[in-house]
Amino acid sequence: MITVVLVIHLLISLALVGTILLQRSEGGALGIGGGGGGLVSGRAAGNLLTRATAILATAFFVTSLVLAIMANQRSSAPSIVDGVAPAATAPAATGPAEPAAPAAPTGPAAPIAK
């Protein structure tokens, strides 16, 4: 079953890429596409491509969710979070740890001869 949904998902993704590439470019920032009449021109064709893109995008989203749910149900391994053992508790300290005593001073340094 997962193979069938995966094949449908791949076909939808290819159709989605094709419909996006057929649409007319509005910006022309790169200087490619959108010029002249082209294969698909006119307002009706633009509406058709926009509607087809929306339908294919919705189908792509739905098949993605179905594949994720099927993969989750198929997985027999438990979650990593479920396998984490509770941390061992350290023995309770009676109070804050005391800092180590500073080292004893060594005395004044010898004067520097000039």
What pLDDT is recorded for position 51?
Answer: 92
Give the per-residue pLDDT at 21: 92
CA atoms within 13 A on the CB side of 19: 19
Instruction: For the full predicted model, state whether its pTM sits above 0.75.
Output: no
Dihedrals phi, psi of 34, to nearest 5 degrees? 80, -10
**AA identity, residue 16:** L
Distance CA 64, CA 8 (A): 10
- CA gap 37, 24 in Å, rounded: 10
One digit per residue, pLDDT tens: the chain, 114 residues? 889 999 999 999 999 999 999 887 766 555 555 555 555 555 666 788 889 999 999 999 999 999 999 988 877 666 677 667 666 565 666 767 777 777 777 777 777 776
Q: What is the pLDDT at residue 7?
A: 96
Please give the C-alpha separations between residue 75 and each of 68, 71, 84, in angstroms, as whole numbers: 11, 6, 18
